[in-house]
Amino acid sequence: MKVLICGADGQLGRCLLQHYPSHWQVTATNRAVLDITDPYRVKALIEKTHPHFIINAAAYTAVDLAEDDPEHAKAVNTDGVKNLAIAAKNCGAGILHISTDYVFDGDSSSPYTEDTPANPLNIYGKTKLDGELALSEILPDSLIIRTSWLFSEYGNNFMKTMLALSGKNTPLKIVSDQYGCPTYAGDLATAIIYLLENHVKPGLYHYCGNTPVSWYQFAEFIFEQSYKAGLLHLPQTLQAITRHEFGRPAKRPARSVLSNKKLADMMHIPDWHNAVIKVIHQLKSERQE
């Protein structure tokens, strides 16, 4: 199967490159090779490579910066997806696209299913939702996977930010009134491959780690395990704060817990706690090299 991966330098892109099966013929593109905001380059590359499937892992993911740069966020997260959809349709290629829990407002106390109406609170979430809608309109047979709170050994993510901020004498202030489901990007990559290999029915699916936590609880687990594994030499003290106290430009949903039941009925969704421990050991061995 010929597969084109967009955004291959991002954390999900890198996990996909690590896990794809040997019978896939992959064209991996980063922004320099294929800027998805350029419809001409998108059309030319898709016509040249003629993929059976396009996995779109490219996105504008800077949630706060998007508030001051909505045109850029829309260009990538909405118009870029449209460009891929139009070119894919003309070439008979399928698309698997990744979206986010931030399409929800977080006001619900029960997990969000694929049928729950979206209502994004910030520019990032709005541009991602518009990308989903554009794709469904142009290529209704696409696969859209919404995920949340991605972490991995690669790129920028909450786990790596926490480890980078550790080691100071003062407690780290962490938001304790926002809840979601951490998801290991390597597990998501494996799930994406499984879905394509098994020709899952097109449509919208939620994929996330199983246990919801606050950012504070997530940080607590990361630091406990990092200390236990010897990645950190001293325990890290934390101070719980509210989203309001943290005061960031973009509003975040209070409880963007996704229900992954639709996919969990088809596949095993591994526990994210084990993945945190695995990433800690990976980072430790990289430090020792």
Ligand X SMILES: Cc1cn([C@H]2C[C@H](O)[C@@H](COP(=O)(O)OP(=O)(O)O[C@H]3O[C@@H](C)C(=O)[C@@H](O)[C@H]3O)O2)c(=O)[nH]c1=O
Ligand Y SMILES: NC(=O)C1=CN([C@@H]2O[C@H](COP(=O)(O)OP(=O)(O)OC[C@H]3O[C@@H](n4cnc5c(N)ncnc54)[C@H](OP(=O)(O)O)[C@@H]3O)[C@@H](O)[C@H]2O)C=CC1
179 binds ligand Y (CB under 6 A): no
Contacted by 174, from ligand Y, ligand X, none: CB < 5 to 8 Å by type: ligand X
Q: Of 196 and 219, which has the nearer Cβ to ligand X?
A: 219
Contacted by 36, from ligand X, ligand Y, none: CB < 5 to 8 Å by type: ligand Y
User: Which one among 27, 49, 83, 100 touches ligand Y, defined by CB under 6 A?
Assistant: 100
184 binds ligand Y (CB under 6 A): no
CB of 137 to ligand X, least distance (A): 22
Find, among 126, 145, 137, the residue nearest to 57 by Cα.
145
CB of 161 to ligand X, least distance (A): 5
Q: Are strands 25-29 and 53-56 parallel, antiparallel or unpaired?
A: unpaired
Q: What is the phi/psi pair of residue 139, to 5°?
A: -130, 80
CB of 11 to ligand Y, least distance (A): 4
Contacted by 10, from ligand Y, ligand X, none: CB < 5 to 8 Å by type: ligand Y
The long-range contacts involving 238-242, CB below 8 angstroms and separated by at least 24 positions, are: 238/171, 238/172, 238/173, 238/174, 239/171, 239/172, 239/173, 239/174, 240/174, 240/176, 240/216, 241/173, 241/174, 241/175, 241/176, 242/175, 242/176, 242/177
State how far the alpha carbon of 170 is from the alpha carbons of 157, 166, 231, 236, in Å.
Answer: 22, 9, 19, 9
CA distance linking residue 237 with residue 227, whole number of Å: 12
Contacted by 76, from ligand X, ligand Y, none: CB < 5 to 8 Å by type: ligand Y
CA distance linking residue 208 with residue 134, whole number of Å: 23
CB of 58 to ligand Y, least distance (A): 3
CA distance linking residue 232 with residue 277, whole number of Å: 13
What are the structure tokens assigned to 20, written together? 């794809």
Size of the site for ligand Y (CB under 6 A): 28
Q: Of 58 and 219, which has the nearer Cβ to ligand Y?
A: 58
CA distance linking residue 114 with residue 79, whole number of Å: 23
User: Which one among 9, 79, 105, 130 touches ligand Y, defined by CB under 6 A?
Assistant: 9
Q: Looking at 102, 112, 124, 154, which residue is catalytic?
A: 124
User: Which one among 35, 69, 177, 271 touches ligand Y, defined by CB under 6 A?
Assistant: 35
User: Which one among 3, 4, 5, 6 touches ligand Y, defined by CB under 6 A?
Assistant: 6
120 binds ligand Y (CB under 6 A): no
For ligand X, the binding residues (CB under 6 A) are 61, 63, 100-102, 148-150, 158, 161, 165, 172-175, 178, 215, 246, 252
Contact indicator for 149, 218 with CB cutoff of 8 Å: yes
Is residue 227 part of the annotated active site? The answer reads no
* Length of the chain, in residues: 289
Q: Of 157 and 176, which has the nearer Cβ to ligand Y?
A: 157
Contacted by 31, from ligand Y, ligand X, none: CB < 5 to 8 Å by type: ligand Y
Contacted by 253, from ligand X, ligand Y, none: CB < 5 to 8 Å by type: none
CA distance linking residue 42 with residue 125, whole number of Å: 24
CA 279 to the chain's CA centroid:
16
87 binds ligand Y (CB under 6 A): no
User: What is the set of active-site residues?
Assistant: 124
